Amino acid sequence: MRDSGLDKDEPKSIHCRTAARALQQYLDSEIRDELLVTAISFHLELCRDCGMEAETYSRIKVAIASEGRAFDSETMARLNRFLDDLL
Amino acid sequence: MSAISEPGSSISDGPDSGSLPSGIPGESKTQRLGFTESVRPEIPILLHVARSYNSADAEDLVQETLTKAFRAWDKFDGRYLRAWLLTILRNTAINAGRKRIPSLTGDSETLEQQPDSSLAASPQDLLESNDFVANVKKAILGLSSHYRNAVELVDIDGLSYQEAADVMGIPVGTIMSRLHRGRRQVKEVLAKQGLIGGEQ
């Protein structure tokens, strides 16, 4: 989503503040700048606090997703039949 | 900024919600089969988003969306299918005067839980305690509707920031802000309950 402005010769050197600012986009795979993605990955491996922060948000994301999918099976069946009937 | 191919006039004269098309003359069977195969996986997300407009007629809204998408299928450029479908759904809802309701969360009493199998199989998911998941859910329900909608669209429906922004009709930056604040509030609730560590 953003231009990291990282030095191409040292793409893995970022501060905690930079990592924290981009963490949510990183976890959502929304960062297009590959240098920044690499830099954040590297930082999260080395920095215990940032790594734990990333792990916490990852757990929250997984918990939300696993708990939140709730479909009415009858409604889904009707909509699938409707889709088939379009043919 | 949007990468969505706006259906625009191709859907504006779409069929009434109750009418069932019996097929489009000139459309090849292969094209039509391609439509159903491509669109079927998107039905849960369409239904979920449709409920945010009006849970009572969400099914009708999805049917209208499917019908219009089917009729416009030959005009679809093949890119960003989900965003294209959600745009049709949103336009259909707006044209019908449907208004958004605060939460995307469905009526849990009438819903049958179907956990995502891809998540159920992950090692990370196996580490999640029932307490943790239950408390995350409670924390989500405690969020303001703006934050909750953003979190649900991205984390439950798997929409990109741009797709979620298009669904809600707000800028991407606003989605990001709401998403991040919503997650932070969930984290703070969990920290107070001692389920995770506090702020760095």
Q: Which residues of B touch A66 (CB under 8 A)?
A: 115-116, 119-120, 125, 128, 133
* Token code pair at residue B36: 């159903």
Dump pLDDT digits (tens) for B56-79: 788 999 999 999 999 999 889 888
ipTM of the complex: 0.75
Inter-chain residue contact B114 with A72, CB threshold 8 Å: no
Least confident of A36-50, B12-26, B168-182: B12-26
Separation of alpha carbons B47 and B106, rounded Å: 10
CA B74 to chain A, closest CA, distance in angstroms equals 14
Q: Tell me, what's the pLDDT at A65? A: 83
Q: Tell me, what's the pLDDT at B198? A: 61
Inter-chain residue contact B110 with A80, CB threshold 8 Å: no
> If we measure between CA atoms, which residue out of B178, B150, B191, B157 comes closest to residue B41?
B157
Separation of alpha carbons A22 and A3, rounded Å: 11
Domain boundaries, chain B: 24-95, 118-192
Inter-chain residue contact B114 with A73, CB threshold 8 Å: yes
Nearest to A56 among B20, B140, B187 (CB): B187
Exposed e or buried b per residue across B133-168, where buried means at least 16 C-beta atoms within 10 angstroms of its C-beta: bebbbebbeebeebbbbbbbbbbbbebbbbbbbbbb
Mean pLDDT of chain A: 84
> If we measure between CA atoms, which residue out of B174, B189, B100, B192 comes closest to residue B143?
B189
Residue B20 reports pLDDT greater than 50: no
Residue B137 reports pLDDT greater than 60: yes
Q: Tell me, what's the pLDDT at B19? A: 37
Nearest to B66 among A50, A59, A83 (CB): A83
* Token code pair at residue B17: 């919600």
- Please name the residue of chain B whose CA is at the shortest distance from the CA of residue A50: B200
Residue A78 reports pLDDT greater than 80: yes
Inter-chain residue contact A60 with B186, CB threshold 8 Å: yes
Domain boundaries, chain A: 16-85
Q: Which residue has the higher pLDDT, B127 or A85?
A: A85
Q: Which residues of A touch B190 (CB under 8 A)?
A: 60
Q: Which residue has the higher pLDDT, A60 or B28?
A: A60
pTM of the entire predicted model? 0.63
CA A19 to chain B, closest CA, distance in angstroms equals 13
Topology annotation, domain B118-192? Arc Repressor Mutant, subunit A (1.10.10)
Inter-chain residue contact B156 with A65, CB threshold 8 Å: yes
CB atoms closer than 10 angstroms to residue B18: 9
Residue B107 reports pLDDT greater than 60: no
Q: Provide, rounded to the nearest whole percent, the portion of chain A with pLDDT above 90.
A: 60
Q: Tell me, what's the pLDDT at A24? A: 95
Q: CA neighbours within 13 Å on the CB side: how many for B142?
A: 14
Least confident of A28-42, A73-87, B103-117: B103-117
Mean pLDDT of chain B: 74
Residue A13 reports pLDDT greater than 90: no
Which of 1.10.490.10, 1.10.1740.10, 3.40.50.620, 3.30.565.10 would CATH assign to domain B24-95? 1.10.1740.10
Residues B93-122: what's their mean pLDDT?
48
Separation of alpha carbons B53 and B169, rounded Å: 13
Residues B9-36: what's their mean pLDDT?
51
Least confident of B114-123, B137-146, B150-159, B184-193: B114-123
Q: Which of A18-27, B19-28, B189-198 has the highest mean pLDDT?
A: A18-27
